[in-house]
């Protein structure tokens, strides 16, 4: 989404006055409405899915990493819950998320025993005894933070 002009962002508390007096072009009003919608529709699950979408092919992330990128490093369990309910597995590659030891999810995930392993192997990631070598395959998120990951929704 394109960002509104800086002057618009500074005047959010006065938007109804600006809109009603007719002094703002329609394109700026549309931008402000879109930003308002993004602000009120933001939620932890949406942020989790957006973070998972950013995991590069051939890399994995831990539940804790995704929680931190989604804005709260204490919500690793919420990451697991959200991924278990993944509404779009083709776009949200939850199979790339493992626990802090590199262990894969249980048999109930991804359609049965061995499915996550098959997906990871197809992604170019070696799996040994139900575990991924995090030193080799863990996504380096040091250049990322909540702002850069979510620049498309904030």
Active site residues: 94
How far apart are alpha carbons 63 and 66 in whole angstroms? 5
* Residue 60 contacts residue 137 (beta carbons within 8 Å): yes
How far apart are alpha carbons 136 and 109 in whole angstroms? 24
* Residue 134 contacts residue 59 (beta carbons within 8 Å): no
b/e sequence 110-142, b meaning 16+ C-beta within 10 Å: beeeeebbebbeebebebeeeebebeebbbebe
Residues 6+ apart with CB under 8 A from 151: none
How far apart are alpha carbons 68 and 70 in whole angstroms? 5
* Residue 52 contacts residue 70 (beta carbons within 8 Å): no
């Amino acid at each position: 989404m394109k960002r509104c002009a800086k002057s618009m962002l500074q005047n959010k508390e006065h938007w109804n006055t600006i809109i009603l007096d007719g002094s703002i072009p329609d394109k700026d009003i549309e931008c402000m409405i879109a930003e308002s919608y993004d602000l009120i529709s933001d939620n932890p699950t949406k942020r989790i899915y957006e973070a998972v979408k950013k995991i590069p092919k051939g890399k994995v992330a831990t539940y804790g990493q995704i929680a931190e990128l989604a804005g709260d490093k204490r919500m690793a369990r919420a990451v697991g819950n959200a991924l278990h309910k993944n509404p779009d597995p083709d776009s949200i590659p939850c199979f790339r998320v493992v626990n802090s030891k590199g262990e894969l999810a249980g048999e109930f995930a991804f359609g049965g025993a061995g499915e996550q392993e098959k997906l990871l192997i197809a992604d170019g990631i070696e799996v040994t005894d139900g575990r991924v070598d995090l030193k080799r395959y863990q996504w380096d998120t040091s250049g990322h933070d909540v702002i850069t990951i979510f620049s498309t929704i904030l």
